[in-house]
Amino acid sequence: MASRTHYWSCSRFADWLRGTAKPGAETGEGWRDWRRAAKSTYPVRYWLAEEGLDHIQNFVWFIPDTLYAVKYYINNRWISRTHSLTAHPRDIKPGQWQDVGNRFLPCMFNELVDFVELELAWWHLVWEGKEKRARYNAPWWRFGWWNVRIWRCAQAGMDNLEWQASLVQDKDWGLEETDPEFGKPTSQALNALEILALYRWWTVTRPARPEPMKASGWSDYCDRHRAADPDDWIFSDSKDKEDTGPMLDEMHRLEAEYEAEDEAMMIRLIKIRNSLWT
């Protein structure tokens, strides 16, 4: 269960009971070979350590596990709301009507932001130790039994992605230096780079895009026209068309460019959706 900080089957006592030490980390093939060797050496002792201890721990931890499951249901249902996609108020104000098609982009990228700033930020601190907690000024309640997914730290999330992006295929991957893939980025590293690029596009690049009506000069033109005659909302004479034509063309060009960019970024996000987990 997720409430446990350790498993009895991974303890030193389990190693003694089993008669063979369990590796701290291994490849899939390594774990397979270890299980086969441990079972064939001491079959009964292997069962006692791997199965028996789990049954005993499940019995002892029944009440803590149950309380933890209830806590996480409350967290998932009303705090993290992992059953839904919800736009941030800065993108869609609560109570504001939005057509379905207009909800996709902000809802999807708001979830990406939460993944980086909440989940990866927490993951970064959990695996890196206490000094990182002090560096990011993480509160005490973000760890341990009371942990709830509401602490946000963009820098910790980005640092985690940059760490993942540095991973390469090496001897830990079972490769020799003569292998042509040796030293190349892992699939995890490539996915991290893509996640970071999409996150920065949504949080930095996209908000900085010039607004089409302002960038084309259309807004200023309308303001000047209405200031001269507040009752005239129709730009119809030849002089109007001569002035407004290029502005409207530029405005429509920017709108189409932004729409194409938004669509391309949504597609990229969909393609890496299976990498968004901790």
57 and 93 belong to one structural domain = no
222 and 140 belong to one structural domain = no
* Number of domains, the chain: 3
Contact 276, 191 (CB under 8 A): no
3-state secondary structure of 273: helix
42 and 103 belong to one structural domain = no
Q: What does the CA dihedral 233, 236, 241, 243 come to, rounded to 10 degrees? A: -40
pLDDT at 238 over 60: no
β partners of residue 185 = 168
The C-alpha atoms of residue 22 and residue 104 are separated, in whole angstroms, by 46
56 and 90 belong to one structural domain = no
pLDDT at 199 over 50: yes
Task: Kindly state the percentage of the chain with pLDDT values over 90.
Answer: 55
180 and 217 belong to one structural domain = no
Kindly report the number of other CB atoms within 10 A of residue 55's CB atom.
Answer: 9
Lowest mean pLDDT among 67-71, 76-80, 115-119, 172-176: 76-80
Please, what is the average pLDDT of the chain?
87
Domain that holds residue 236: 209-278
Q: At what angle do helices 154-165 and 187-200 cross, to 10 degrees?
A: 140
pLDDT of residue 78: 74
pLDDT of residue 1: 45
91 and 200 belong to one structural domain = yes
Question: What count of residues does the chain have?
Answer: 278
Contact 169, 187 (CB under 8 A): no
β partners of residue 168 = 185
- Residue 133 in tokens: 């907690």
pLDDT at 200 over 70: yes
62 and 94 belong to one structural domain = no
Residue 223's pLDDT band, with cuts at 50, 70 and 90, is: confident
Region for residue 256 given its phi and psi (left: phi exceeds 0; alpha: psi -120 to 50; beta: otherwise): alpha
> What is the per-residue pLDDT across 172-187, written as a single tens digit (0 to 9) for each?
877 888 889 899 999 9
- Rounded average pLDDT over 247-274: 96
> What is the per-residue pLDDT across 161-172, written as a single tens digit (0 to 9) for each?
999 999 999 988
Give the residue, 136 or 192, on which the prediction is more confident.
Answer: 192
